[in-house]
Amino acid sequence: MRELHNVISIDVRSPSEYKEGTIPGAINIPLFEDEERTKVGTVYKQICTERAKDLGYKIVEPKLPHILEQIKSASQNVDDNIILFCWRGGMRSQSLKDYCNEMGLKVVYLSGGYKAYRRLVHSFLSDITNIPEMVVLNGLTGVGKTDLLSLLSERKIPTIDIEKIANNRGSVFGQIHGGNQPSQKAFEAEIFENVCNNQLNYSVIECESKRIGKLYIPDSVFQKMKTGKQIHLYASLKTRVDRLIVDYATFPEERLIDAILHLKKALGRNKMNNLIDLVNEKRFDEVATILLKDYYDPLYGYPTGKVADYDLSVNCDNLNHAAEEIIDYLK
């Protein structure tokens, strides 16, 4: 499958199975909705296999013309390789493959299904020799780590944006961006695909703890992060304040206040109430300054200026210049 080009992956499992984890980029065109799958499964367990097959066919047969059109619309390029998969490469994907081929649409199915793909991901990530060397970006809140990753990626430098993959920004204010985290399976699959598509022997990544929200960075990747090159990023307080304002000041005030309420234990009631007043008065520069000085900087403890304790220390007041300095270092 990885050797093919222009691949269109079609996950024919139920929506809940797809949500739990799929091959990255796969489109969900289910043969059974969740309730239908449950009914077929109940008949299989409580009565017999043949009755379950009969019920499954009765449910799916009227849907087949529409499913065929959905698959066709997902593939507008005649050179596309359409691959169907279910859980184990069994009846769901094989029967749909046969139907599509009979109707003149050439498709194949993934032998072993999603289960085989999961085994591949687990086996790959369990072997630390498969993981490239990590170049780790360290620095205080507001130095621009995430934006710098994006700039490096635009310049064809291999990166892993763990926070983006995990849909988690790490702090109480980071959660303002919202959205649900993926499953652990989906998280690992995205990391696997990222590493497999990396043509170089390193990847740039932001420093993270092993746990990101409800997810865990695979051991092999985390070990490479700990032993990799460490780059320290720093920027002036004004630059960092300005970046926080850009990131958060456009959100509704009630969401900012809700985040501040979570800091009562760390900051104390008086400082918390002062921050809430400042938000209501839209004095966001003061809010950001207090948060950096009194919460984020003591929490993370990185140096505020250039130091010699890292493999490289980079001024990030200008992120384009910082990106070029890092690229020169990586050559």
Answer yes or no: 316 catalytic: no
Check 86, 100, 207, 316 and give the catalytic one.
Answer: 86
The contacts found for 120-127 with CB under 8 angstroms, 24 or more apart, are 120/192, 121/188, 121/189, 121/192, 122/188, 124/192, 124/195, 124/196, 125/188, 125/191, 125/192, 125/218, 125/220, 125/221, 126/219, 126/220, 127/220
Q: Which residue, 189, 163, 162, is CA-closest to 26?
A: 189
User: Do 82 and 108 touch, CB atoms closer than 8 A?
Assistant: yes
CB 90 within 8 Å of CB 49: no
For residue 195, the tally of other CB atoms under 10 A from its CB is 19
Q: Got the DSSP string for 283-329?
A: -HHHHHHHHIIIIIHHHH---SS--SSSSEEEE-SSHHHHHHHHHHH
- Secondary structure element (H or E) that encloses residue 276, with its range: helix 269-280
Q: Which two tokens stand for residue 156?
A: 């064809």
User: Residue type at 134?
Assistant: M
CB 176 within 8 A of CB 251: yes
Q: Which residue has the tokens 């093919």?
A: 4
Which neighbouring-strand residues pair with 85?
Answer: 11
Token pair belonging to 168: 């988690």
Indicate which residues carry an active-site annotation: 86
